[in-house]
Amino acid sequence: MHPSKRQKAKLPVNRILVSGASGLIGGALLPALERGSMEPVRLVRGPARGPGEISWNPSAEPPGAGLASSAVAGFDAAIHLAGESVVGRWTAAKKNAIRDSRVLGTRTLATALAHADPKPKVLVCASAIGFYGDRGDEVLTEESASGRGFLPEVCREWEEASRIAAAAGIRTVNLRIGLVLSASGGALGKMLMPFKLGLGGRMGSGGQWWSWVHINDIVGGIEQALHTESLAGPVNMVAPNPLRNAEFTRTLASVLGRPAIFPVPRFALALAFGKLAADELFLSSQQVKPAKLQMSGYRFQFGELRAALESLV
């Protein structure tokens, strides 16, 4: 990020409440917050193990039963990242866990924050580009409508739950996160082994757009959202240069010094993950642009895929 723009927009944030701190994004975010002289406090299931943790039950009903407003009073900001992984076979139980962990957890946290005294200045709440659904070659910005399907429905409900905090006067940012590239796991971690063995290739037709983002830029984008008062509502957290799946997989194979000659047909993805998960996770086309982040002055560390992959693998 350009230093002068960062300094111009920066708002003071010191004590931060974080859910999902042990996840892929949280594991990269917390050390960065601490390096920035901020004090992150984790929301954890089960008993708190010290002053750096607060216990909560994200699925408690009614929402106020899962987290006391007094426990979250006095924070400058809250970052909500918790949610069931979308990777895996989408059985009825898995789909319920994906939806409930996001919607009920967000409702619980937003309700507690809305009644806290004093309230935080900002809530940064994870969402996903799954909001847009399968959109072919359409260029998608934060102004684009939601799509159809399971993930769009979940994302709409997820973002709607956060509006409890927004209605209470808390600036609320819904980060619509794309395909996360990280050396610690996630989608890239699952793709590396077959590609290292020379068994990788495009998925389905390979013509679907994949909107990706480097883990360092997610951390940078969250910090930008914390400190930039003009950012509110949906914010696309993706690199500015999405690629079609065929080009994405060719680039990954090239960085690893391997060929990309073994396409993965739709039926194989459906066998592994179920038809619905295969269609919405791997074969869905979303050409998403980070319009609001770029307008806020954020400069991506990794705007091109090859450089992003080379930094990780």
SS3 call for 212: strand
Tokens of 72: 């979250």
| Degrees to nearest 5, angle at CA 205 with 309 and 145 | 80
Whether this prediction's pTM lies above 0.85 is answered by: yes
CA distance 206 to 282: 10
pLDDT in tens, 87-131: 888 999 999 999 999 999 999 999 999 999 999 999 999 999 999
Domains and their CATH numbers in the chain:
3-312 (3.40.50.720)
At 138, the amino acid letter reads E
pLDDT in tens, 52-63: 999 999 988 887
CA distance 300 to 281: 24
User: What is residue 10's predicted lDDT score, i.e. its pLDDT?
Assistant: 65
Query: Residue 1: is its pLDDT beyond 70?
Result: no
Tokens of 64: 């106020």
